[in-house]
Amino acid sequence: MTASLEGLLLIDKPAGPTSHDIVSWVRRATGQRRVGHTGTLDPPASGLLVLALGRATRLIRFLPDAPKVYEGTLVLGLTTETDDLAGNVVARARGPLPGFEAVRAAATEFVGKQLQVPPAFSARKIGGERMYKLARQGRSVDAPATEIEVFRFELLPGTEDGRIPFRAEVSKGTYIRSLARDLGQRLGCGGALAELRRTAIGPFSLAAAVDPPNPGTDSSRSPWAPAAAIPLDLAPLAFPTRRIEPDEIERFAHGGQIPAAGNTDGWVRVADPDDRLLGVGQVAEGLLIPRVVLVDPSV
């Protein structure tokens, strides 16, 4: 494919590479230099990664903070420095582990809004530095808790030897590693995340995702041409649509303000009469002000 490929692309990230690795592979394979992601997955995690290509990168900040759904496995009876099995074990439980019903009852207590402390090894910044960098230097930091929401946290069949399959639907900013850690603390035996796979982000489902290109794929030799890119027009922006008339489109394309009497102040998705996306605007004091212009002024 060429650099004209744009829109939103759903990728099924394998465990191992970083989210930035996937972005780099897609850039190299498609020839499209403008590629970004809408939210990372830790390297050990797999599943849905939403990429924005071309002009869609300018819409990333306007996509809704939709709930995310994960399936995975947590292990009880141990605590690690990273809150998953990638880190060193720092404590092991003595005695029998809690039964299935006790674990399920404890899991239900996490449903709702709450304050959550991120893992010590995370990308959260403290004083301008990533926490994982501070942790690798042996520096202890008190990370502030942030408000998150757990919409559901349910156990799945297949529990064996302290390994608990689960499904969780959570708000943006939630660390599933922290959820596993905190559940283990609540049960008094310790806990860590063993496996994690993201299956949905708002309206986006893993079922519609494609495998990433091979790391060695080069657009100059063998272009990668995924057929599943979501067009710009269908990007699910987080605010209402304001359609403008044909004689207003050129003014919008050149950054000119458009009368918007009667419209409520706030952000709007700007479209033509046929609902083709033109950009993002902001209504204030009776005027529609262009903020992101996606339409070519010559069109």
Q: How far apart are CA 293 and CA 146, in angstroms?
A: 34
Q: How far apart are CA 181 and CA 120, in angstroms?
A: 12
Task: Categorize the per-residue pLDDT at 2 as very low, low, confident or very high, splitting at 50, 70 and 90.
Answer: very low
Q: What is the pLDDT of residue 224?
A: 80
What is the overall mean pLDDT for the chain? Answer: 91
Structure token digits, residue 119: 């893992």
Helices (H) then strands (E): counts for the chain = 5, 18
Assess contact for 155 and 107: CB atoms under 8 A: yes
- In the predicted structure, residue 190 carries a pLDDT above the cut 70: yes
Assess contact for 213 and 228: CB atoms under 8 A: no
pLDDT average, residue stretch 28-53: 93
CA of residue 88 relative to chain centroid, distance = 27
Summarize pLDDT for 243-262 with one digit per residue, the tens. 999 999 999 999 999 999 88
**In this structure, CATH architecture of domain 7-63+205-233:** 2-Layer Sandwich (3.30)
The class (CATH top level) of 68-201 is alpha beta
Could you say which of 42, 83, 182, 272 is catalytic? Answer: 42
CATH value of 239-293 in 3.40.718.10, 2.60.40.420, 2.30.30.100, 2.30.130.10: 2.30.130.10
- In the predicted structure, residue 91 carries a pLDDT above the cut 90: yes
Does this model's pTM top 0.75? My answer is yes
Domain ranges in the chain with CATH number 3.30.2350.10: 7-63+205-233, 68-201
pLDDT average, residue stretch 99-127: 89
What's the one-letter identity of residue 117?
V
pLDDT average, residue stretch 138-160: 87
Q: How far apart are CA 46 and CA 122, in angstroms?
A: 17
- In the predicted structure, residue 3 carries a pLDDT above the cut 60: no
- In the predicted structure, residue 192 carries a pLDDT above the cut 80: yes
Task: Categorize the per-residue pLDDT at 139 as very low, low, confident or very high, splitting at 50, 70 and 90.
Answer: confident
Which residue shows structure tokens 């986006």? 204
- With both helix axes pointing from N to C terminus, report the angle between 100-108 and 176-187 in degrees, rounded to the nearest 10: 120
Q: How far apart are CA 187 and CA 266, in angstroms?
A: 46
Residue 42 among the catalytic residues: yes
Structure token digits, residue 178: 């922290």
pLDDT average, residue stretch 236-244: 93
Partner residues linked to 269 by β-bridges: 241, 280
